[in-house]
Structure 1
Amino acid sequence: MGYHNHSSGHHHGDGHCGKPDYLPALPFDPHTHEQNFQPATTVTIPASQCSTGPVQCCDSTETAGSGLGSLLLGLLGIVVQDLDLLLGVSCSPIDVLGGGTCTSQAVCCEDNAVGGLISIGCIVVTL
């Protein structure tokens, strides 16, 4: 009987110990998935290798398959096959040679300022 109580108390302790282990696991799993997903689809090039036009400084980047990405493409009536295609949102050209800087995301895109809102087919650049 004493052993049973000890076992029961130990089980209660496991439940208590399991709780702190569970809390970090919840935000960790989606975060890990997201972090593993992005670098796999994101290529970075030096700004000097951007041959499709001026380097763009975008407020944010989205993949075509993301919620915001698919919404923006849908609003503009654009259909893309590659859901991993990187989109630049609210971009403006920057003069890399003139020492231009970008406080958000610098990208090199195939199609700049589509619909005045997004740039399509972007690659992240390092300034």
Structure 2
Amino acid sequence: MFSKLSVVVASVLITLAAAIPQGAPPPPVTPPTAFMCCASVVSSMSTTASLIAGLLGVNISSLNVPIGLSCSPITVISNCNGVIVICDAPPAEWGGLMAINCLPVTF
């Protein structure tokens, strides 16, 4: 049972890694301008960030900035059940899956 599962998981990870556009330039990192509520913030070098970037077709391999995952714009701060950050405004086609250069906001 577990060996079949591990083969499936390994196959999915290999496929995703191959789908990451290695020749594509990384997105530009600009000063953060958008307040976001993200489920979590991880390193751009993390496996999770790399997998999501690969699904989006974004090359983040040369970036070394915090990445926000599952982010949405903040309209009312008290409604954020995650981490309040200020990020580069992510492109709409990323669908809120990822935001780049997310810095924590403290009040």
Greater Cα offset, 105-114 or 73-82: 105-114
Q: How does 1:1-127 map to 2 (within 5 A)?
A: 52-53=33-34, 55-80=35-60, 81-82=62-63, 84-95=64-75, 100-101=77-78, 102-112=80-90, 115-116=94-95, 117-127=97-107
- State the alpha-carbon separation in 2 of the partners of residues 89 and 103 from structure 1: 13
2:42 is paired with a residue of what secondary structure? strand
User: Structure 2: 5+ residue runs without aligned partners?
Assistant: 1-30
Q: What is the aligned-residue identity percentage?
A: 37
Structure 1 stretches of at least 4 aligned residues deviating more than 6 Å after TM superposition: none
- 5+ long unaligned stretches in structure 1: 1-49
- Give the secondary structure class of the aligned counterpart of 2:88: strand
Indicate the structure (1 or 2) with the bigger Cα radius of gyration.
Answer: 1
**Cα-to-partner distance string for 1:66-120 (whole Å, 9 max, x where unaligned):** 01011111111111222x311111111113xxx5222321111113255111111
The alpha-carbon distance between structure 1 residues 91 and 78, as it changes in their structure 2 partners (threshold 3 A), is same
**Are the counterparts in 2 of residues 111 and 119 from structure 1 also a CA contact under 8 Å?**
yes
Kept after mapping to 2: 8 A contact 1:114/1:120: no
- Are the structure 2 counterparts of residues 105 and 114 from structure 1 closer, same or farther at C-alpha, using a change threshold of 3 Å? farther
RMSD: 2.1
Normalized per residue, which structure has more helix? 1
Offset of residue 61 of structure 1: 1.2
Q: Give the conservation status (yes or no) of the 8 Å contact 1:61–1:87.
A: yes
Higher RCO structure (Cα 8 Å, ≥6 apart):
2
TM-score for the superposition, normalised by structure 2: 0.58
